[in-house]
Amino acid sequence: MTRARKASIYVALVLLSAVSVVPFLWMLATSVKHGHDIYTKVPNLLPVDRKTGEWAATLENYDYVLNVGGLGRAFVNSVWVCLILVPAKLLIDALAAYSFARIPFPGRDKLFVVLLGGMMVPTITLLVPRLHVTQALGMFDSGWGLIMPNIASVLDIFLLRQFFLSLPSELEEAALIDGASRMQIFWRIVLPLSKPVLAVVTITSFLFHWNDLVWPLVVLNDPDLYTLPLALQQLVASPDGGRAYYIMAGATLAVIPVIGVLLVFQRRILQGIAFTGLKA
């Protein structure tokens, strides 16, 4: 590769990175600005006073959205929902995937095809049936109503099954000869060898449920149970909260945990994508 071509690739990557980073920096800067410093003739990324040009950053916007806007309580709600839902979902999906991949039983392949067929149904068409079932089980307008209908994912089962099929069958046969049970093989052999794909499923599940707005909007009425996306949507719709600096402060609070997770587990995500045979 010539130097000119390499330089052009680097320039293109820098420009693409800027396109991704600048909106986030603008959101972060707006979240610490006073209202009269946002709308100026000449846009300014830095939080400075538009009259004096002096540094004028403030944290009052965060104080408002956390206390008056209710995002502090919603943040806690989102955290505990993800802490319960993601591990439980991972366990159930892993058990189902192991059954479809390694345990022969009548109708196994046909049942798996039926599950995959369910992925073709638009999620929005399932809202009404899910809502009726949630109400019938007495979980409407409760934290469990957020968790139980999302306790399993066909897509995650499919990804885990594909990885389990790639594991050497000799390991399992040797364990069976030594007297190990199916559950012992699952816990002591399969799961330790499946850390890359387990990491991908965990991270993608966390990101989906952390950002989920539609289902909490349908199943929740009590503002004390609102998750972060729903509270942020209510903040935007409120007369006082719908100001740019409040919205940007709330959006910053919502996106910081996501960015932190992606930065910490970036290598795990890439490894998992490679192991599952998907294209990045």
Q: What angle do CA 171, 186, 276 make, to 5 degrees?
A: 80
Is pLDDT above 70 for 230?
A: yes
pLDDT above 70: percentage of residues in the chain? 94
Structure-block tokens of residue 63: 């104080």
pLDDT above 90: percentage of residues in the chain? 33
**Mean pLDDT in residue range 236-249:** 81
So what's the pLDDT on residue 133? 92
So what's the pLDDT on residue 212? 92
pLDDT digits (tens, 9 = 90+) for 15-38: 888 888 888 888 998 888 888 888
Three-state DSSP class for 38?
coil
pTM of the model: 0.85
Structure-block tokens of residue 94: 């892993």
Owner of token pair 């469990």: 144
Structure-block tokens of residue 207: 């990101």
Band of pLDDT at residue 126, cut at 50, 70 and 90: confident
Is pLDDT above 50 for 280?
A: no
Band of pLDDT at residue 69, cut at 50, 70 and 90: confident
CA dihedral 63, 65, 68, 72 (to 10 degrees): -90
What is the chain's length? 280
Band of pLDDT at residue 145, cut at 50, 70 and 90: very high
| Residue 150: C-alpha distances to residues 89, 167, 169, 206, 224 (Å) | 8, 28, 32, 12, 21
**Mean pLDDT in residue range 185-208:** 89
